[in-house]
Amino acid sequence: MRFLLSMPALLVVTIAFAASDIPRLNWQERSDWINVKTAVTPAAVGDGVADDTAAIQAALDNPANPKSIYLPAGTYRLTRTLVFNGPSVGNLIVGHGRDTRLVWDGAEGGIMFRSNGIANSRYEGLSWDGAGKAAVGFDHASALRFETEIRHEHEAFRRFREYGLRVGNEQKLASAEILYRNCLFEDCGTALGFLTFNDYDNTVDRCEFRRCGVGIRDNKGNFYARDCHFERSSVCDFILGSEHGSSIRRCTSLGSRRFLEEPFTISTVTVQDCQVQDWTDPEAAVVLNGSPVLMFDCGFRKAGSTVPVIKMGGGQRLLLCNNTVPAGAKLYDAPAGATIYDIPPGKRKPQIRSATQSFLQETATVPTRVLDAKRDFGAKGDGKTDDTAALQRTIDAARAAGKGALAYLPLGAYVITKTLRVTGRDYTVGGAGYRCTLLWRGAPGEPIMTAEGVRNVTLSRLCMGHHDNGPSQHGADLLVTSPANVPCRFKLDEVFGFGMYDKQPDLHGLRFENLPAGSVIEGEHVEGNLRFTNCARATILFRTSYEGTITVEGKQTQREGFLGFQTRLATAARPTLHILDNHSIVMSDFYNEQSDSHLLLEGAPGQPTGTVTIQGPKMHMLTQEPVIDIRDYGGRVYYGQSEFYIEPKQERMVATGTRPVQLILCGNFWYNTQPKLELGPEVALTMIGNRDVPDTGVTPEAMAALASVLDDLRRLGEVDRTL
């Protein structure tokens, strides 16, 4: 943006405001970080002149497994591909954000970095510059192990001819469940690409894409983009060939050729609350190719445009609500064979008002003080020594310091014999990642850690109760609670608990009990069983969570609270979601694969009616158990925008009991499957906008219920943005 200011003596001054960038991260160096300037030979210089390739590769080749590699502020000149070889889990590569630059000065068409079998790891605060010569910035191309639960945060990818970040090229083992948070992509051929099967569950959150050919290209995987901004994509912001369902929520686009294009896809798409302005393609801003699409609360603005915004083929199922188009233009021109469904407006309003809105965060909080459990309090982390007292002293010191202090656990395995207690406010208890583990050796049935009545406290980068740590006789991995009338506020970020592949939802996991009104729980990145007991008055949001079973139970005389999930994966669970006592939940991107059973919903007469709103990119099970099992649950159950994928061939929907329930199956794709309905007379069934399954029960009452479903999804977005 530029402003011209009139000055005395006819002097005209031009003031240029720089575009936003990723944050500066002024870390205090940790005791277990490998500093590329001081801890390797040869040492990196970081002056932009010296060749630092060998130094950084030496850090990557360090025999420590896992390891944390630190690139202090500087400009690191690279002339060869850096390769991070696994198989390995729980690593960290960290820099100072915009002040840690890696610049390519190698061969034309080179690749800067390859991840080869690195899982459960994090890349943070790195600015990658291809200098217009490199083809690819960061390549997830594993030949050594399945890469899962990876995180890219506060990274920039600039001037790459082909891809800023590429997943799946010449893939032998997949890379999936990757979170891209607050990343910037500029002047790349394709900013972010998912190229082949099994590159699934990619979450793109609060990222920015400027002057790329394609923003996000998805050939065979699937993704969930939310709160992202695109400017001047010369080809398209999104190109979808997804194998499973994808979603685009609260995204903005300014001056791109097209917003969305489906050259081929078999699965569903949700487009929610997006603003698109001044696209340059004369044909359309959105091109669809047959998969069921739900689009609501989207605005399209282009002066003088009279052509339809959406171009589609025959057979398209398109569900629409509350979308706006330029004056004199139409939203769509439906060809023969297409079916359009108009959903009434709901009570809640969209969040995004302008296509110029950006979501990239230029600042980020780092700890003000680091209190090290090993260095400062004598913990060993050797898997043998009882570290309970040392860790409790570390936590207590951070609580006393407050003001953003960090109780830090370096890499290690810490034996715990008594429950660690987290209380107080304004600090973080954090470790070094997936291989920073708490090993319970105390009395059976006790929790490893409790957080009681905390305010503005974060638990981060710890593994507790996970099956990789071996058998344990503890109770909860973590128990979060608060006294009556004392609201708590607690965040979990990269916390790994028990539940992955275990099919034992009642054994261990992360538990939340008796949270009073006003309490707020945020899950930024969490793995494991989650159980909520008597929490109906709290506001609970899990943005990205993986594996295990969600269980919701307990009294709910008042329902001013909220329970919502965005990205959620369940694999080999039994069940994936268990709702008791007629509770409510909203889930926008719930991916299920290879589970024994999926949704179990239970209620009883006299309990308040509930609402279950679930969008699921994939539903796949290996048994004939019900996909949806309703047992006297009363209220509304919505399951939409999912792909019922291959197994089982007959997808059982079962409802028993006496309470009235409205079941809505909407905008799904039945891939080589068919519904098998075993519903009692208390069920009002609506099937609408599904591919390969005919409509039924499409009444005015059902359309009004769909409006309330969209209000649930709107509220999920409101809670996310508010928190």
Domain boundaries of the chain, sorted by first residue: 7-342, 369-548, 575-723
471 phi and psi angles, rounded to 5 deg: -60, 150
- Which pLDDT score is estimated for 218? 96
Q: What is the pLDDT of residue 16?
A: 38
How much is the pLDDT for 6?
26
Three-point CA angle 622, 530, 463, nearest 5° = 100
Burial 129-142, CB ≥16 within 10 A → b, else e: bbeebbbbbbbbbb
Q: What are phi and psi of 527, to 5 degrees?
A: -125, 140
Domains 7-342 and 369-548 share a fold: yes
CATH of domain 7-342: 2.160.20.10
Q: Which residues of 577-615 are buried (b: 16+ CB within 10 A; e: fewer)?
A: bbbbbbbbbbbbbbbbbebebbbbbbbeeebbebbbbbb
The per-residue pLDDT for range 501-518, each reduced to its tens digit, is 999 999 999 999 999 999
Q: DSSP for 613-630, please give it.
A: EEE-SEEEESSSS-SEEE
Q: What is the side-by-side order of every strand in the sheet holding 449-452? A: 420-422, 449-452, 478-481, 510-513, 530-533, 550-553, 577-579, 599-602, 628-631, 650-656, 674-679
Write out the H or E segment, with its range, that includes residue 429: strand 425-431
Those residues with Cβ within 8 angstroms of residue 369's Cβ, 6 or more apart along the chain or in another chain: 28, 398, 401, 403, 404, 405, 406
pLDDT score, position 264? 78
Residue 555's pLDDT is 87
pLDDT of residue 290: 80
The CATH number of the domain covering residues in 369-548: 2.160.20.10
d(CA 22, CA 360): 7
Q: Which residues of the chain have pLDDT under 70?
A: 1-18, 558-559
- What local confidence, expressed as pLDDT, does residue 464 receive? 96
Helices vs strands, H then E, count in the chain: 3, 66
What distances in angstroms separate CA 667 from CA 253, 576, 643, 689, one per listed residue?
Answer: 25, 21, 9, 5
Instruction: Look at residue 116 in the predicted model and tell me its pLDDT.
Output: 97
CA 478 to chain CA centroid, nearest Å? 22
Q: Quick one: which of 459, 451, 559, 574 has its CA closest to 506?
A: 574
657: Cβ contacts below 8 Å, ≥ 6 apart: 603, 630, 631, 632, 633, 680, 682
Do the Cβ atoms of 406 and 436 come closer than 8 Å?
Answer: no
**Cα–Cα distance, 481 to 301 (Å, whole number):** 48
